[in-house]
Amino acid sequence: MSPLANIAINDISKKYKSASFESLSNISFSIESGKTIGILGPNGAGKTTLISILCGLIEPTKGEVTYQTENNTDITGINLKKIIGFVPQEYAFYHELTPVQNMNYFGSLYNLSREEIKQKTDSLLSILGLADVAHKKINTFSGGMKRKVNLAIGLIHSPSILFLDEPTVGVDVQSKLSIIEFLTETSKQGTTIIYTSHHLSEAESFCDEILLISKGNIVTNGPTKDIIQKNNANDLQSLFIKLTQAE
């Protein structure tokens, strides 16, 4: 795995050129390495925009995101790209190819050797239950299987920070449980996970910390159990409703 990194988000705002309002407004928080963070909020809250900025896919209108090693050394450029894995909500692979062919292609983008790609491919596809279909075209797969391929590609280079945008959306219960179980084990190995989801019960059990945003602003954030208790809520779903119902 790549070196662990802490993330500092300092006064981030984002306003798209065609928009009349900011998608994010003065967002500041920090992420400690090895934690699992859930970024939650209603539709249009700014979750995907925030993750895209954290990944470096888009630039903020103002503010900055800083990645630092545990020795407080900034991580930038190609070194930053090496430690980040991103699994978008949309399928990010070639449907007409097989899982192995996709893994070979994306692994080569990270300059992994053939041996490294094969080792990671065999391991990930086996763990995710895709070994038997490793050489079948993905356009024949179910939604759950495609989600798992998406996830495997995002992990091909063993990133220390993994961004997940709705990783279990639209899949059956068995696939959802399988994906979350795999991600839980990945987290235990020290990977920092930043994830968005509309599945609040899933997020409550999976995430160490929660960042709840609405209309581009932070509503609350902190350790999951602590913010539920602090707001006298029974669970994350009731907390969500309580804090966003007036938005």
pLDDT at position 231: 93
In a domain, 147, yes or no: yes
Structural domain includes residue 24: yes
Domain assignment present for residue 113? The answer is yes
Residue 70 falls inside a structural domain: yes
Grade residue 3 by pLDDT with cuts at 50, 70 and 90: low
Please count the other Cβ atoms lying within 10 Å of the Cβ belonging to residue 173.
Answer: 9
Which residues lie below 8 Å from residue 49, measured CB to CB, with a gap of 6+? 14, 23, 24, 58
pLDDT tens digit string along 228-243? 999 999 999 999 999 9
- CA dist., res. 197 & res. 41, Å (int): 8
Query: Which residues, listed in sequence order, are joined to residue 65 by a DSSP beta bridge?
Result: 9
Domain with residue 10: its CATH number is: 3.40.50.300
Note whether 227 and 211 are within 8 A (CB): no
pLDDT score at 69: 85
CA distance 243 to 149: 35
| pLDDT average, residue stretch 92-110 | 97
Q: What is the pLDDT of residue 247?
A: 47
Instruction: Give the model's pLDDT for residue 207.
Output: 95
Position 200 in a domain: yes
CA distances from 114 to 17, 54, 118 (A): 43, 30, 6
pLDDT value at 246 more than 60: no
8 A C-beta contact, residue 154 and residue 132: no
Looking at the predicted structure, is the pLDDT value of residue 100 above 50?
Answer: yes
Q: What is the DSSP letter of 26?
A: E
The whole-number pLDDT of residue 46 equals 93
Q: How many CA atoms lie within 13 A of 47 on its CB side?
A: 26
DSSP state of 74: B
CB 94 within 8 A of CB 102: yes
Using one digit for the tens of pLDDT, what is the confidence trace for 21-74?
Answer: 999 999 999 999 999 999 999 998 999 999 999 998 999 999 999 998 877 788
In the structure, what pLDDT confidence band is assigned to residue 117 with cuts at 50, 70 and 90? very high
Packing angle of the helix pair 114-127, 99-109 (nearest 10 deg): 130
- Using one digit for the tens of pLDDT, what is the confidence trace for 119-173? 999 999 999 999 999 999 999 999 999 999 999 999 999 999 999 998 888 888 8
Neighbours of 94 (CB within 10 A): 14
> Would residue 28 count as lying in a domain?
yes
Q: How confident is the model at residue 107 (pLDDT cuts 50, 70, 90)?
A: very high
Domain count, the chain: 1
Residue 75 counted as domain residue: yes
Inside any domain, residue 1? no
- Reported as a single tens digit per residue, the pLDDT across 210-226 is 999 999 999 999 999 99
- What the block records as the tokens of 216 is 């581009």
The predicted structure's pLDDT at residue 176:
87
Instruction: Give the pLDDT confidence score for residue 71 in this predicted structure.
Output: 78
Parent domain of 54? 6-244
What's the pLDDT tens digit per position in 142-152? Answer: 999 999 999 99
- What predicted TM-score, i.e. pTM, was given to this entire model? 0.90
* Burial class (CB within 10 angstroms; exposed 0-12, middle 13-18, buried 19+) of 13: middle
What are the Cα distances from residue 200, in Å, to 74, 150, 194, 205, 230? 34, 22, 15, 9, 18
Kind and range of the H or E element at 194? strand 192-196
When pLDDT is averaged across residues 77-89 and rounded to a whole number, the result is 91
Average pLDDT score, the chain: 92
Question: Which of 13, 12, 46 lies closest to 31, judged by CA?
Answer: 12
- Contact (CB, 8 A) for 227 and 199: no
